[in-house]
Structures are given as C-alpha cells and as structure tokens.
C-alpha cells in the first residue's frame, strides 16, 4: 500500500502537516508518496515527490494550501504507481537518490525529536508540576495551538493559528468564561501608537456585525494588536470594549474530543 503526505518527509510527520506548516511560517513544501510501513509517514520508503508547492506565509489559509496539494496529487501518485509496477517486474529500486538523504535526515529523529518539526495532532510528554511534583501527561501536538494563549501568543502567532485552522478545526478563546470562536484574524497595517501597554487579551474596540458576529481589536503579549471576527459558540452574549479574552476552556471541550488533546498549564506547547 502507498500513501501520500503533503510535506517534505521526514519533516512534519503526522496527521496535520498543512496546519503545522502554516503555524511554522513555511514558504513551500513537496508532496511525497511513500510505502506504508509500521513507521508513521516513513521517509525511507519514498516513491515519488512533487515539484515544490508554494505557501504564502502571510495570506494562505488551510483551504488554499489544501487546494494546491490536490493539484499536485495526480503527477506524484502516478509516478509512485509506475515505480511500484516497475519494481514488481524487477526493473526499479526505491528512489535511492532521494530516499538516501531523506533517510539520513530521519535517523536523528529518535535521538533529537525536538529538532525535527512534526505535525502530530496529539503528542504526549511528561510534565512535572513545579507546585506538587506530580508528573502529568501534556499535549505538545498541533492541537495545542487551537486555543489562543494570550499570555504567550504574539500577534503573528494568533494570526497564523487562525489561518492554519480556518475551514477545519477552528481557533478558539474565551470571554468571561464563554467559548468564542475566531473566524478571521488580521494584523494591523500600522504600528500601534505608543502609550500605556494593555494586558494581553484586552478588548480595545468592538463593532457589531449584521450576521451576529463581532469585529474586535485585541491587545497581544508583544505589544501589538490583532483584529478578530468571531462569535460565541453556544451563548447569547456580547463582547465589550475594556473586557478581556482569556484561555479557560480545555481544547478537548472546544473540539469535543479526548482529554489527551489538552495541554497542562505551564507545560511546553507546539511551536
């Protein structure tokens, strides 16, 4: 059996490579076709690779990058099938010229897992609570970026997350304990005017939209602002200027999935 993976293996092994590459600000990637083995997205069995697929690191969202991935599939899958057929007749070996250097890159994965970007949705690590000494399991996978952490995320972090998860998982925050879904995010065209810094998550301006959503300008931890369009997911409430977005609701509750997706407060996070 063969599989296609939209990333330069062994980089971004896992189930959410497009989201991970947008979060990482990547400018291009190649679609790989590889043989399925016991290793997830095994780079040692690469059969074919596409031409570079561009990503605009400033504007592209998940849907735009996914569309380019689909456009690259016919050629890369066709080449892989031809190679498999030829190999069955004893005429071709694996893509030795490409597989060898990729395998060499993959070798350090076990030794230096943090040095190679991955795209696993859930990747659990042990985290020792400094207050109690208790060892807890915490998610450092891509899903840990679904929820905005206002004390950590810069304006660019928030904007990239909104693009990465637009049209699929969505990006979330809380306002007065109520879940609020971010539908769009934009960065300011001008630098903010110097003045007293606002706490991260502080709502600076609000505009009500006709469809029930709100357009809000929010302060970020790096002294910048983001403009968000969004709405409450299950409550009739309003965002007010001077209020504050927070990070309260667990990711598992936002997405309705296993609690394994949650990140322990203070633990490392996907970056």
**Shared domain check, 157 and 242:** yes
Does residue 117 form part of some domain?
Answer: no
Report DSSP letters for 114-153, one per residue.
Answer: GGS-B--S--EEEEE-TTT--EEEEE-SGGGGSB--TTT-
Q: What is the pLDDT of residues 169-218, one digit of tens each?
A: 999 999 998 999 999 999 986 655 556 678 999 999 999 999 889 999 99
Predicted local confidence at residue 17, as pLDDT? 97
**Shared domain check, 152 and 100:** no
Neighbours of 176 (CB within 10 A): 16
Compute the distance between CA of residue 36 and CA of residue 171 in angstroms, rounded to an integer. 32
Does residue 119 form part of some domain?
Answer: no
Does residue 135 form part of some domain?
Answer: no
**Shared domain check, 94 and 163:** no
More confident residue, 108 or 58: 58
How many structural domains are present in the chain? Answer: 2
53 token code pair: 């697929």
243 token code pair: 């209020």
Does residue 126 form part of some domain?
Answer: no
Rounded to an integer, what is the distance from CA 207 to the centroid of its chain? Answer: 28
Q: What are phi and psi of 171, to 5 degrees?
A: -120, 140
Predicted local confidence at residue 110, as pLDDT? 36
Compute the distance between CA of residue 119 and CA of residue 136 in angstroms, rounded to an integer. 22
Compute the distance between CA of residue 163 and CA of residue 184 in angstroms, rounded to an integer. 8
Q: What are phi and psi of 191, to 5 degrees?
A: -65, 145
- Mean pLDDT taken over the chain: 88
Rounded to an integer, what is the distance from CA 208 to the centroid of its chain? Answer: 29
Residue 66 belongs to domain spanning: 2-110
Does residue 26 form part of some domain?
Answer: yes
Q: Half-sphere exposure of 47 toward its Cβ, with a 13 Å CA cutoff? A: 25
CATH code of the domain covering residue 226: 3.10.25.10
Does residue 254 form part of some domain?
Answer: no
pLDDT for 89 beyond 80: no
């Amino acid at each position: 059996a063969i599989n296609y993976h939209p990333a330069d293996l062994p980089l971004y092994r896992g189930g959410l490579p497009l989201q991970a590459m947008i979060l990482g600000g990547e400018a291009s990637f190649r679609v790989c076709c590889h043989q399925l083995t016991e290793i997830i997205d095994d780079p040692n069995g690469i059969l074919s690779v596409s031409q570079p697929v561009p990503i605009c690191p400033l504007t592209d969202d998940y849907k735009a990058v996914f569309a380019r991935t689909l456009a690259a599939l016919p050629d890369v899958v066709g080449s892989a099938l031809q190679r498999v057929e030829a190999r069955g007749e004893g005429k071709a070996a694996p893509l030795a010229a490409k597989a060898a250097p990729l395998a060499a890159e993959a070798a350090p994965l076990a030794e230096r897992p943090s040095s190679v970007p991955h795209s696993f949705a859930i990747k659990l690590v042990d985290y020792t609570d400094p207050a109690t000494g208790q060892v807890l399991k915490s998610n450092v996978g891509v899903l840990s970026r679904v929820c905005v952490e206002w004390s950590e995320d810069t304006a660019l972090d928030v904007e990239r997350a909104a693009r990465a998860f637009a049209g699929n998982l969505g990006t979330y925050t809380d306002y007065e304990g109520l879940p609020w879904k971010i539908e769009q995010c934009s960065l300011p065209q001008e630098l903010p005017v110097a003045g007293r810094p606002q706490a991260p998550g502080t709502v600076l301006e609000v505009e009500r939209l006709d469809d029930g959503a709100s357009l809000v300008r929010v302060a970020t931890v790096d002294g910048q602002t983001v403009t968000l369009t969004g709405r409450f997911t299950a409550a009739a409430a309003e965002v007010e200027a001077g209020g504050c977005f927070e990070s309260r609701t667990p990711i598992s509750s936002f997405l309705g999935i296993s609690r394994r997706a949650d990140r322990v407060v203070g633990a490392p996070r996907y970056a």
